[in-house]
Structure 1
Amino acid sequence: MTLKLYDHPLSPYAQKVKILMREKGLAFQAVMPGGLGAGGAQGAFVAASPRAEVPALEDGEVRVFDSTIILEYLEDAYPEPALRPSVAADRARVRMLEEVMDTHFEAITWGLSELAWFRRAEGELAETIRANAARQIAGFYRWLDGELGDRPWFNGEAFGWGDLCVVPFVNGAVGQGHAVPAGSRLADWLARANARPSVAATVNDVRTWQSGASMGDVAELVAKGLFKREYRDHRLEWMIKSGGLEVVVQGVARDNIRFAPEFG
């Protein structure tokens, strides 16, 4: 049976899931739902993901949302090859890595996209936010380098959960112009990770989508309230602490940001 993944190629959360499925050799169909940008998602996608967020997974009658829970489900349902470390302490370590990348690091690259594509701030305000983002990313790179230590992989001796939960986010930061320091352990790891077929195929999904996508003037759509970016909790916190309170206030006033939908 082919798994169905509700996906957006640019989503690092969906990328995590695709890398894991490819490592396990699982056949899947990636479907990009409509209505994500405008907050008007509906139908089977919302039945699978009541938060109207990608990724969401359908496996027969089973529906799972949230990237971490999807990874856990797939690891339990399709245990070979095992991608979680075998030792409890190492499992906790890679889960903490995932939590940091999901709820701290992701907010930075997401926030930079708010400036680059959606022009939420310009001039001095934008430069303040970008400077804070650069400082924060540099700090995370140092932290990740220390967490990697002398291991060949974040997961341990072999590529696994700890690596697939980091590489999409670091690739996203690199794509925003924040290169990993040359010669660092983190840079060597990133080159090895991107050389893996599962990661390379997922990166290619991004490039293929970008080559065919017509973004148009999305900033104009935002200004008109026709495109609403979701300010999830960690993203809202990041924007405010990084100097963008004005961005949030204006977004609420102009009704061009959104929050998680109500259930039921």
Structure 2
Amino acid sequence: MEESWHKAKITPQIAGVYPGPPPQVNQPGAKAAEIRELKLALEKERKEHQETRSKLKSSEEELQSAWSQLHAAFRDNLKFLRIDNFKKVDELELEKGAELLRLELEEANRKYQNMKEFLEGKLDEKDREIWEKEKMLKESIENENRLREQHDATVTEMKMKIQKLEEKMDGAKKNALAQTVPPGDIETQPATKIVFKGPYADQITYHQCIKVINSSARRIAYCIKTTKRLRVNVPCGVLEPKEGANLIVSFKKLFGRVDDHITVEWINTPDGAGEFRREWFQGDSMVRKKNLPIEYNPFSE
């Protein structure tokens, strides 16, 4: 009884393809959720960054407005001190008031510059942070794509290995099944011997045509073996049921008396097999044989 077969039986053979534990491959999309979270967080930081820049611009405009107002007040006070109260205010007081206004203006301008530099430094730092996160996100996406490609390549390779093993085992099973049935009969024309007719001369090649016919109900492969002096064309092939093949047996130089012969060997071919393969005749296959002796008749009829 034939032993049942399924994919589980080839698992030990697959281990030879990948020695050791099975390869650990990240499943595609394993980091998809993490990448989505990074994208959302980065988008949120970009939005906050834009809002901070807008606030800085508003603060800059407010400081500029305050500076302009203070500068205008300084001008107005100078005008008042110089024109309206020139006779009432001592020249020293005028200079003192102008100096105080100038100091206030410089202090306001200094604070504005300090705040501007501080905020711009913070924004530049945020720019670098966002750039680094964008770079990390890009690398994560590239790693994810690379892992997906590696996973797909590994899966494809394993499928191909499994398919090859299935085909190999299936072919061996069919071959074994074919060889359990003895090959059928063949016919040869001529049926018992091959006769070459003379007279013979050196340096002349002599030919004789024979025919091999597959008279069985199965597809067969045949192979012709000869003694040293003989040649056969075509020495091997495959025949469908009831199909025949014409062969040419030839020799070149006749010397002495030699017991020449050809041997026809044939076997059943595995189901679904293609072209002729010599390994079919090796091993434990059931091979049948038929000998055809060669007769050299020196007289032509």
Q: Give the TM-score taking structure 1 as reference length.
A: 0.21
Q: Give the TM-score taking structure 2 as reference length.
A: 0.19
Which structure carries more helix by proportion? Answer: 1
Greater length-normalized contact order (CA 8 Å, ≥ 6 residues apart): 1
